[in-house]
Structure 1
Amino acid sequence: MPKLYHYTSFENAIEFILPHKSLRTNYLSEMNDPKENQQWAFGGINIDYKSIYPNEYSNDTHIFCQQKLGEEIKGKVQALSFVNSDEEDGFKNEMMWAHYGKNHKGLCLEIDVDKFIEENTSINFFKFENIKYLFEKKPSIYWDKRLSKEENINNIIKKNYKSLFLTKSKYWEKESEIRLLLIDNTRNYLKIKKSLSGVYVGLSMSTYYYPCIFDLLNISLPFYKVYYERNEIKRWEINR
């Protein structure tokens, strides 16, 4: 069964993720990629900002209205990021340990994909796909004046989701990210009680903190300490 990996801080793991056995989706504006956390504005065809924002639009506020529409499009999507294991085991990702694993003081959670999907059948996943790393300009969008703003935004997302939400510049390529997308403007909490298949702790985490983690895990769940050997991250299992 394929595995995915989610990196997090020690604090986030023991305060939120492990006690509730769930992962929270994020707004794109909270992502680290500047493409996503900066304001969006689109060029397009038939976009009548005056009718979309009748109480706000003027020549002076045109750019503001462009950005407002961009943020409404962005705000309709929730995301949850993992590291894939297409080419190598995701727990070996040094870049992710440094950044999201808080310089090896955090954790990496191993998720069984099939079980994850099974235990979250109540959630309407939109897409679950690998990020593509390439230089690509923002798409031009089409606005159908016969439809409502909500319908137009949904159509824009469905037509352009790959370029909008599943591409990053090549400088992020080492993340090996696979992303779960939901069309929802509120946070979702996705269950991992059955799909959590392993927990990895970083090189720099003190053994003093291990009991805090053990108390939140099923005794049968594999628990690993990573170590560094011959320029590669490896693991050994710790018996409890």
Structure 2
Amino acid sequence: MTFLMRPRGQGAELLFHYTSAAGLAGILDSGHLRLSTLDRMNDPRESGTYNFGWRQASPGPFDGERMASMTEEMNIALRRTTHLVSFTVEGTEESADGYFGRGFARARNWDQYGEKHRGAVLVFDRDRTLAAVSELSAGSYASGPVRYVDGSLQSLPDGGWLMFEESEYLEVGPAAMVERWRHDYRDQLFLTKNKDWESEDEFRILVWRNEHASIPIAGLLEGVILGEHHPVPERRVLGTRLARLGIDRLMIGIMEWRHGTPGCHNSLLPDGSFGFEFIDDGVDQNLAPARPIIC
């Protein structure tokens, strides 16, 4: 039974990643889902510079130039080594009408992240995805649902304030200081957004490393749902792209909105056909068909 037919809460936990038509092609052609850095996020709480206050190590006149230099180093260490990828999860309320609340059926997400319904949603098995991330990051990762709170990033839940301590900075250096902050303030810095984003039901995977990070997707995908305006030429080569990844059976569907109600069908091309091509494996000229499971 595909995830479309299962009641929510049954079967494997799923993660839904919205992307554009070009994003889908890039992910399938590379075989990897690439993580982004914090400065590419939409929430100003995350995309802006951390300008937290400083406590000087010694009394005396305030040294603004030194504070600015240390603030820049802390931002580089905290932000440029934090890579993340965002997903939507299933809503908790069942709907008797269409797929309202399902992770792949969010109209706002389709508009903002799915290229105004021209893109796609990649559906991942959560447990297999987290296992793959743990392996590629050597355990230097975190994951969890985002909580939505209106308030200053500097304001802590206990009423305190995030502050850079110059004495700690001088004693252990920025790298060790950042490591402690990731542990002590992980939820505050990386898993909290303003309430404007609450409808996204976001789940994040965070990886800490100096270079770019990406997740190999083969073996993790449960399905691909195309937007109702996904370009027909791209639909025609979807099977080819999947087959090149060694994926020959997958749940494929295309969204439809009937009077505003989300649904899914399997006529990928205007003539009602699936539109999957065959590929040449380049070895013995045998043709390997892509055999999708259609919703």
TM-score, structure 2 as length reference? 0.71
Q: Cα deviation per residue 1:35-60 (whole Å; 9 max; x = unaligned)?
A: 22122111244568xxxxxxxx9535
CA RMSD of aligned residues (A): 2.3
Amino acid at match of 2:215: L
1:188 equivalent in structure 2: 213
2:184 equivalent in structure 1: 159
> Which of 111, 130, 151 pairs up with 1:117?
130
Q: Is the 8 A contact 1:4 1:84 kept in 2?
A: yes
Moved more, 81-90 or 156-165: 81-90
1:108 equivalent in structure 2: 121
Alignment of 1:77-156 (within 5 A): 77-87=82-92, 88-120=101-133, 121-123=135-137, 124-139=139-154, 140-141=162-163, 143=165, 144=168, 145-156=170-181
Q: Cα deviation per residue 1:59-117 (whole Å; 9 max; x = unaligned)?
A: 35644643442343222211111111242321011111101100000111000112223
* Greater radius of gyration (CA): 2
Amino acid at match of 2:14: K
Please tell me whether residue 224 in structure 1 is matched to residue 253 in structure 2.
Answer: yes
- Deviation >3 Å, runs of 4+: 44-48, 57-65, 237-240
- d(CA) in 2 for partners of 1:161 and 1:47? 25
Moved more, 166-175 or 60-69: 60-69
Structure 1: stretches of 5+ with no match in the other structure: 49-56
Q: Describe the SS at the equivalent of 1:13.
A: helix
Name whichever structure is richer in helix by fraction: 1
2:19 equivalent in structure 1: 8
TM-score, structure 1 as length reference? 0.86
Q: 1:47 to 1:141 in 2, by over 3 A?
A: farther
Higher RCO structure (Cα 8 Å, ≥6 apart): 1
Q: Is the 8 A contact 2:74 2:174 kept in 1?
A: no
Q: 1:125 to 1:113 in 2, by over 3 A?
A: farther
Q: 1:179 to 1:110 in 2, by over 3 A?
A: same
> Which of 72, 81, 84 pairs up with 2:77?
72
- d(CA) in 2 for partners of 1:237 and 1:111? 20
The alpha carbon displacement at 1:30 in A equals 1.2
- d(CA) in 1 for partners of 2:39 and 2:57? 23
Q: Cα deviation per residue 1:170-216 (whole Å; 9 max; x = unaligned)?
A: 00111111000112132111111001110011011233321122211
The alpha carbon displacement at 1:134 in A equals 0.5
Amino acid at match of 1:102: E
- d(CA) in 2 for partners of 1:178 and 1:112? 13
> Which of 3, 10, 20 pairs up with 2:30?
20
Amino acid at match of 2:82: V
Structure 2: stretches of 5+ with no match in the other structure: 1-11, 93-100, 155-161, 268-273, 277-295
